């Protein structure tokens, strides 16, 4: 490059443009840059949220022209005293607890094994990660095929190893099995997520700590519980936070897999909400439902983040 | 004890853990391989018992995926002229005639348009915002950043109620523009958080040098920072694309025809008589393969993307 800096800029940009932006202070540029994003988020997130809160106090129905009336907290009262709502909350709790339980267990174990750095671990890690990147609706739909009692691969494999007649059970149709069918597919899909985060945690532990423990003659078992687990815990808790929020919102996978059935056994809150809002068209009622869900997830997440920060500080 | 470092796993440990991980990988990849295989099965092979691992490959599923057919009786079939294309031939063999293209191609194209459109916009706005958050003292910065992240906590169905009403007022229901704007907004949180992380990693000195050389802030941004952030921008873009590509809840509620994307469409594919699993599998295969390729390309940045930049490795 030749010439002084002024020449270089003169070459690089038309003078009018350079002059126009030279006049802007950093502060102006900051707002210019942040502005569009904030406006878009306000329009697509905050404005709708306020609208939802407003609708939640009305008996508005989106498929009727009739004007809505304000009915105070009646929607909230009805939702919280409705047995169906509690049934779907319970289904969601079951789904949340067991998916997180299995994903943490298997995900951590896999990360621990991969961290043994055997040959080709990168390749196998990539293969394990595939399910989580794919469309839950499309994959969930295909799992209904794998779960078919007569012809499905899943039932065939189970019967191959256990000797149970493959047509004697239906993962999606049976009352006892349906809640587990969604847990299995979600675990299959999202275990790699927990695995990846745990792996990052394991890799962040410096070797020197283990060397020091070895000098102190701490057993491998003790090293695992007093070094490995506490060091990975913040990572693990972060993974649980993400999975918790995601599965609280769960819709696509389960709606394609079981459609909420049999009966309403796998009707998670999102599915219940969708029915109220877009099938029964009880817009006001559904809005109140949405507000309750949002407050729940936001509240739980905030409490959890506080706990997470405490663990991190330790 | 052997001579090597205490933290290096022994060969036996490596062997056992490798075996266990590979076993898990093989089990977990099975459903995906089954999707791909089913796409190449004939309808009879697809629903045979026991499930067929070895089968004669057939492209009937793909023909059925891209065409609309109608059943004809053998006597009617005799009156028809002989098939003039290979796919017509395949349809005839199963007693149907092709009456036109299916809607799959158009739904796939919608996914491409909406995916790329929203990715472009969320990267464009996201880069600007991320740069500002990274380099300037923005008032209430932490609150704004948290606000941006919190938009991801809402269940999509909860957001969909007012969006549906809003789109209805504005005539945006079932339009490409509406879906592009919606996905842009949803992806903004991801792109701002990820890109802020990537830009934070670019040393300030480069820009300072440029500013001392007489560059304006704006020039320093697009001549110094943008090229440095190229890898980060590319991987963020792929994450946004994958999200828009996979999204189902908004798509199923807000689109039904002209702007419907593939995820709500693929599960509705049915054959001439009953569910046509090879066609569904063929549609799913074509839809999932691009994401698998992207996953391989992204594997170094995967962790960062899925945790919104919280874990960077």
* Domain membership flag for residue A207: yes
A3 domain residue, yes or no: no
All structural domains of chain B: 105-268 (1.10.3720.10)
CB of A153 less than 8 A from some CB of B: yes
The answer for B 183-242 residues in CB contact with A (under 8 A) is 184-186, 188-189, 192, 213-219, 223, 242
Under an 8 A CB cutoff, do B131 and A33 touch?
yes
**Which range, of A71-85, B149-163, B280-294, averages the lowest pLDDT?**
B149-163
Q: Check A36 against B185: CB less than 8 A apart.
A: no
CATH number at residue A235: 1.10.3720.10
Name chain B contacts of A31, Cβ cutoff 8 Å. Answer: 132, 138
Q: In terms of domains, do A150 and A247 share one?
A: yes
Is position A233 within any domain?
Answer: yes
Task: Check whether residue A102 and residue A198 sit in a common domain.
Answer: yes
What is the DSSP code (8-state) at residue A168?
A: G
- Burial-class residue B132 by CB neighbours within 10 Å (0-12, 13-18, 19+): buried
CB contact under 8 A, B264 and A137: yes
Ranges of residues in chain A whose predicted pLDDT is under 70: 1-23
- Whether A69 is in a domain gets the answer no
* Same domain, residue pair A201 and A302: yes
Q: Are residues A30 and A126 both part of a single domain?
A: no
Residues A193, A82 share a domain: yes
**Nearest CA-CA distance, residue B171 and chain A, Å:** 15
| pTM (whole model) above 0.95 | no
Q: What digits encode the pLDDT tens for the residues B239-261?
A: 999 999 999 999 999 998 899 99
Domain presence at residue A61 = no
Share of chain B above pLDDT 70, in %: 97
Tell if the CB–CB gap between B31 and A143 is shorter than 8 Å. yes
What is the residue range of A32's domain? 20-55
Name chain B contacts of A51, Cβ cutoff 8 Å: 162, 165-166
pLDDT digits (tens, 9 = 90+) for B162-191: 999 999 999 999 999 999 999 999 999 889
User: Same domain for A116 and A216?
Assistant: yes
Cα separation of A291 and A52, whole Å?
7
Count of structural domains within chain A: 2
Do A82 and A45 sit in the same domain of this protein?
no
Based on the domain organization, do A152 and A31 belong to the same domain? no
Q: Which residues in chain A are closer than 8 Å to B159, comparing Cβ atoms?
A: 44-45, 48-49, 290
CA distance B293 to B235: 13
> Are A56 and A76 spatial neighbours (Cβ–Cβ below 8 Å)?
yes
Query: A44 and A113: one domain?
Result: no
Q: How far is CA B231 from CA B128, B220, B238, in A?
A: 16, 18, 11
Looking at the fold, whether A36 and A170 belong to one and the same domain comes out as no
- Minimum Cα–Cα distance from A206: chain B residue: B7
In a domain, A47, yes or no: yes
Q: Which of A44, A51, A250 is the best residue to mutate to test the B interface, defined by the most B CB atoms within 10 Å of its own CB? A: A44
Cβ neighbours of B147 in A, within 8 Å: 41
pLDDT at position B180: 96
Listed by number, the residues of chain B in 47-86 with a beta carbon closer than 8 Å to a beta carbon of chain A are 47-51
- Give per-residue pLDDT as tens, B74-118: 888 788 888 888 888 888 888 888 888 899 999 999 999 999 999
Determine, yes or no, domain membership for A66.
no
Integer Rg of chain A from CA = 26
List Cα–Cα distances, B306 to B32, B239, B300, in angstroms. 21, 8, 12
Q: Which two tokens stand for residue B306?
A: 């899925």
Same domain for A81 and A141, yes or no, is yes
pLDDT score of A180: 95
pLDDT at residue number A22 = 55
Are A50 and A144 within one domain?
A: no
Those residues with Cβ within 8 angstroms of residue A211's Cβ, 6 or more apart along the chain or in another chain: B5, B6, B7
Whether A1 is covered by a domain: the verdict is no
């Amino acid at each position: 490059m030749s010439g002084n800096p002024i020449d270089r800029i003169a070459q690089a940009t038309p003078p009018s443009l350079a002059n126009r932006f030279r006049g802007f202070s950093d502060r102006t540029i900051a707002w210019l840059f942040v502005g569009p994003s904030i406006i878009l988020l306000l329009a697509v997130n905050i404005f709708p949220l306020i609208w939802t809160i407003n609708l939640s106090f009305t008996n508005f129905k989106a498929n009727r022209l009739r004007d809505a009336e304000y009915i105070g907290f009646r929607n909230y009262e009805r939702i919280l005293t409705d047995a169906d709502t509690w049934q779907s909350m319970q289904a969601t709790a079951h789904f949340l607890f067991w998916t997180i339980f299995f994903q943490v267990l298997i995900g951590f174990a896999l990360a621990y094994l991969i961290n043994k750095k055997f040959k080709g671990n990168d390749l196998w890690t990539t293969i394990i990660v595939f399910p989580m990147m794919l469309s839950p609706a499309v994959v969930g739909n295909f799992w209904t095929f794998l779960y078919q009692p007569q012809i499905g691969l899943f039932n065939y494999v189970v019967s191959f190893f256990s000797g149970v007649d493959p047509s004697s059970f239906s993962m999606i149709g049976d009352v006892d099995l349906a809640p587990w069918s969604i847990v299995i597919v979600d675990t299959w899909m999202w275990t790699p997520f927990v695995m990846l985060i745990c792996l990052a945690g394991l890799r962040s532990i410096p070797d020197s700590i283990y060397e020091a423990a070895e000098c102190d003659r701490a057993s491998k078992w003790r090293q695992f519980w007093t070094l490995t687990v506490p060091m990975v815990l913040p990572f693990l808790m972060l993974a649980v936070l993400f999975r918790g929020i995601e599965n609280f919102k769960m819709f696509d996978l389960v709606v394609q897999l079981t459609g909420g059935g049999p009966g309403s056994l796998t009707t998670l809150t999102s599915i219940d909400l969708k029915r109220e809002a877009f099938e029964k068209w009880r817009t006001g009622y559904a809005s109140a439902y949405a507000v309750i869900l949002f407050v729940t997830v936001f509240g739980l997440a905030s409490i959890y983040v506080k706990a997470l920060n405490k663990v991190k500080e330790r | 004890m052997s001579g090597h470092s205490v933290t290096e796993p022994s060969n036996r440990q490596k062997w056992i853990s490798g075996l266990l991980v590979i076993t898990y990988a093989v089990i977990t990849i099975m459903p995906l391989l089954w999707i791909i295989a089913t796409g190449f099965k004939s309808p009879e092979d697809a629903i045979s018992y026991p499930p067929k691992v070895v089968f004669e490959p057939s492209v009937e599923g793909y023909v059925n995926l891209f065409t609309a057919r109608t059943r004809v009786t053998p006597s009617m079939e005799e009156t028809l002229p002989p098939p003039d294309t290979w796919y017509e031939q395949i349809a005839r063999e199963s007693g149907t005639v092709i009456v036109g293209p299916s809607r799959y191609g158009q739904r796939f194209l919608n996914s491409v348009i909406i995916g790329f459109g929203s990715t472009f916009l969320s990267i464009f706005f996201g880069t600007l915002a991320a740069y500002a958050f990274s380099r300037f003292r923005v008032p209430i910065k932490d609150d704004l950043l948290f606000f941006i992240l919190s938009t991801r906590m809402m269940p999509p169905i909860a957001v969909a109620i007012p969006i549906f009403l809003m789109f209805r007022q504005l005539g945006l229901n079932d339009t490409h523009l509406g879906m592009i704007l919606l996905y842009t907004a949803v992806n903004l949180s991801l792109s701002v958080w990820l890109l802020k992380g990537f830009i934070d990693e670019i040393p300030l000195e480069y820009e300072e040098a440029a500013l001392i050389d007489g560059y304006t802030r704006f020039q320093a941004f697009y001549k110094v920072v943008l090229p440095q952030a190229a890898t980060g921008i590319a991987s963020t873009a792929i994450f946004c694309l994958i999200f828009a590509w996979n999204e189902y809840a908004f798509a199923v509620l807000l689109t039904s025809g002209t702007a419907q994307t593939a995820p709500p469409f693929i599960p509705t594919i049915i054959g001439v008589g009953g569910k046509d699993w090879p066609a569904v599998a063929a549609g799913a295969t074509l839809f999932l393969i691009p994401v698998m390729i992207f996953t391989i390309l992204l594997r170094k940045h995967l962790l960062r993307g899925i945790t919104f930049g919280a874990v960077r490795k």
